[in-house]
Amino acid sequence: MTGSWQASPAQQGMWLTERAGIAGRAFHMPLAVWLDGPLDVVALGEACAEVARRHPLLGGVLAEDGGELRLVPHAMPPLREGGDLQEELAAPVDPVEGPAARFTLIREEAKRHVLLFQAHHAVFDGESKDILLRDLAAWYGGAVPPPLAWTYPEVAVQQQVRLADALPDARRYWAGRWEGRRELRLPGLTGVSVVAAPGSALDFVLEDLGGIAGRLEITRFEVLLAAFVALLHAYGNARPEVGVDLSTRTEWSRDHVGAFVNELPVTGAPEGGTFGEFARSLRGDLRRLYRHREVPLARAVDGIGPRAALTPVSLSYRLRPETSPLFPGLGASVEWMMFNGWVRNTLHLQIVDDHAGTAARLQYNPALLDRAGAERIREDLAALLTAVAADPEAPLDRLPLPRPVPAASVTAVTAATAASAAVKDGPVGADLVREIQAIFAKELELDDVEPDDDLFDLGGHSLTITQIMARTQKLFGVELSFELFIDDATAMGVAAEVARLREQAC
């Protein structure tokens, strides 16, 4: 496709999850700005249009092209006026059909408006919020931001080169490290999931992370992660596994809107000693992990199928710049952690840290974790951090850590149970199965593939699926549905569907 560029691994993973039907609205990223004063609606509309031109990724859609997933730029819709805030929050953003992002202006009073921006995570991340509002406020005020040093296509190519260079070391690093645990103990827990679902949220404020970090000579994020892991361990999780969002931005992508983030698992097991000792040990583990932060885990290890989150429990932390965008002549209030009403897994801790304080939110799946359990987790985390602030070098056994919760009989919700079946039973010729095996082997760069080998166990991912679909269509003249690979990602399953489609066409 002329004028398009190859999708990043993060975009491919989100596309795979969307096609699997297990994403819901979990990848929708709303950002709301309340504007008080005499708003110039025309100037704001022009500023929105300038932002869309500066960041063409926002208008992009993901499309298959000859077995490759590419990002195709499209015009982003102009600023739209009207609507209700809650209704607009529920409206879809679609990286496949488009639009992947949009601006809506909602009038609440004569001199009070809400500018709602919504984007799909495939084209947007947490740091993009500051970039977008900075550029928008500049144009609204009549200033022109300095030109970007590199275009987004140049950034995308450079990202692909770095990923290819980093992949061998990442595979060696993760060999034997990824455990993929689905066992989990939390108060009030009845199920475990890495599939998106309607969620609930509890907001609170954390105090004195900076004081603890300064005394232990670690970062605020490392303090928070150590406390969260220690709490999960106290609940009875022998080796807590927490999915952590890590920025992959470089000097090239620093000023670009986009999905420059990668979720990777952090595993820790505090065994005696002091909190400070555990936090510094975890810091060392993180420093080793950071060397591989750009490589998605699904590229480094086998057996990771489509999922909305890497682990049942996850954490995101963002340290914001000290200044907020200023719209001349207007008062501006930004909701940096606007909740979209969905959660990607069982429990997610979101943190936005800035000069105004440390805002925290527990997002949870109420069908699997009851509110009383979520409230207890919030209270236990706050109590632990309060005690650590008083004495960061306190022995772990003297901190107010909770007792282990009883192991519950929980249900694991996976992509396979969430997706509908696509393969029909029926006889399949041995020759056809062998031909599909050969396609699998070629695209996976393997010498041989057995009929019942699972594509994801062999190291396949979203790009592999698109390549197999394209090659199958070319050889057999049938168009496979993406959902087929969610239900049965084996050569036998694909061969059965090819046979069914060919028979149907006769």
Indicate if 91 and 134 belong to the same structural domain: yes
Per-residue pLDDT of 250-303, as tens digits, reads 999 999 999 999 999 999 999 889 999 999 999 999 999 999 999 999 889 987
Q: Is residue 161 part of a domain?
A: no
Q: HSE-up of 229 (CA within 13 Å, CB side)?
A: 26
pTM, whole model, 2 decimals? 0.86
Indicate if 23 and 69 belong to the same structural domain: yes
Q: Which two tokens stand for residue 3?
A: 């004028």
135/442 Cα distance (integer angstroms): 46
Q: Is the pLDDT higher at 482 or at 56?
A: 56
Element (H, E) at 217: none
Question: Mean pLDDT, to the nearest integer, of 451-457?
Answer: 86
Indicate if 266 and 398 belong to the same structural domain: yes
What pLDDT was estimated at residue 237? 96
Q: At what angle do helices 371-390 and 209-216 cross, to 10 degrees?
A: 50
**Partners of 14 in the beta sheet?**
none
CATH number of the domain within which 401 lies: 3.30.559.30
Q: How many C-beta atoms lie closer than 10 Å to residue 288's C-beta?
A: 9
Per-residue pLDDT of 135-159, as tens digits, reads 999 999 999 999 999 999 999 999 9
Q: Is residue 26 part of a domain?
A: yes
What pLDDT was estimated at residue 409? 59
Tell me the residue range of the domain where 464 lies. 421-505
Indicate if 139 and 13 belong to the same structural domain: yes
Per-residue pLDDT of 304-344, as tens digits, reads 878 899 999 999 999 998 777 789 999 999 999 999 999 99
Q: Kindly write down the DSSP assignment for every residue of 420-435, as one continuous string.
A: PP-PPP----HHHHHH
371/202 Cα distance (integer angstroms): 9
Q: Say if residues 169 and 290 touch (Cβ distance below 8 Å).
A: no
Q: Is residue 467 part of a domain?
A: yes
Q: Is residue 334 part of a domain?
A: no
CATH number of the domain within which 75 lies: 3.30.559.10
Q: Is residue 330 part of a domain?
A: no
What pLDDT was estimated at residue 1? 54
Q: Is the pLDDT higher at 206 or at 506?
A: 206
331/346 Cα distance (integer angstroms): 37
Q: 413, 432, 450: which is the final residue of a domain? A: 413
For the ranges 163-177, 280-294, 492-506, which has the lowest average pLDDT? 492-506
Indicate if 316 and 381 belong to the same structural domain: yes
For the ranges 69-78, 239-248, 466-475, which has the lowest average pLDDT? 466-475
* Buried-exposed string 142-167: b where 16+ CB fall within 10 A, e elsewhere: eeebeebebebbebbeebeeebeebb
Q: Is residue 338 part of a domain?
A: no
457/445 Cα distance (integer angstroms): 14
136 phi/psi in degrees, rounded to 5? -65, -45
Q: 413, 434, 463: which is the final residue of a domain? A: 413
For the ranges 5-14, 142-151, 197-206, which has the lowest average pLDDT? 5-14
Q: Which of 11, 302, 7, 293 is nearest to 169 (CA)?
A: 293
Q: 97, 119, 148: which is the final residue of a domain? A: 148
CATH number of the domain within which 493 lies: 1.10.1200.10
- For residue 53, give every residue at least 6 positions away whose Cβ sits within 8 Å of its Cβ, in sequence order, or none: none
For the ranges 46-60, 197-211, 337-351, 471-485, which has the lowest average pLDDT? 471-485
What pLDDT was estimated at residue 415? 54
Indicate if 388 and 485 belong to the same structural domain: no
Indicate if 406 and 429 belong to the same structural domain: no
For the ranges 112-121, 168-177, 471-480, which has the lowest average pLDDT? 471-480
Q: Say if residues 51 and 498 touch (Cβ distance below 8 Å).
A: no
Q: How confident is the model at residue 45 (pLDDT cuts 50, 70, 90)?
A: very high
Percent of the chain with pLDDT over 90: 67
Parallel/antiparallel/unpaired status of strands 191-193 and 411-413: parallel
Q: Is residue 183 part of a domain?
A: no
Element (H, E) at 51: helix 41-54
Judged by DSSP in three states, 118 sits in: strand
Q: Say if residues 31 and 493 touch (Cβ distance below 8 Å).
A: no
Q: Kindly write down the DSSP assignment for every residue of 132-189, as one continuous string.
A: HHHHHHHHHTT--PPPPSS-HHHHHHHHHHHHHHHHHHHHHHHTTT---------TTB
Per-residue pLDDT of 102-129, as tens digits, reads 999 999 999 999 999 999 999 999 999 9
Per-residue pLDDT of 379-431, as tens digits, reads 999 999 999 999 999 999 999 999 999 887 566 665 545 543 333 444 578 89
Amino acid in the structure at residue 307:
R
Q: Is the pLDDT higher at 234 or at 69?
A: 234
Q: What is the mean pLDDT of the chain?
A: 90
Q: Which of 46, 44, 95, 89 is nearest to 74 (CA)?
A: 95
Indicate if 382 and 483 belong to the same structural domain: no
Question: Mean pLDDT, to the nearest integer, of 229-257?
Answer: 96
Q: How many C-beta atoms lie closer than 10 Å to residue 490's C-beta?
A: 23
Indicate if 402 and 438 belong to the same structural domain: no
Q: Say if residues 265 and 312 touch (Cβ distance below 8 Å).
A: no
In total, how many domains does the chain have?
3
Q: Is the pLDDT higher at 66 or at 37?
A: 37
Q: Is residue 155 part of a domain?
A: no
Per-residue pLDDT of 355-367, as tens digits, reads 778 999 999 999 9
Indicate if 375 and 430 belong to the same structural domain: no
Q: How confident is the model at residue 478 (pLDDT cuts 50, 70, 90)?
A: confident
180/312 Cα distance (integer angstroms): 9
Indicate if 285 and 425 belong to the same structural domain: no
Indicate if 369 and 245 belong to the same structural domain: yes
CA end-to-end span of the chain, whole Å? Answer: 33
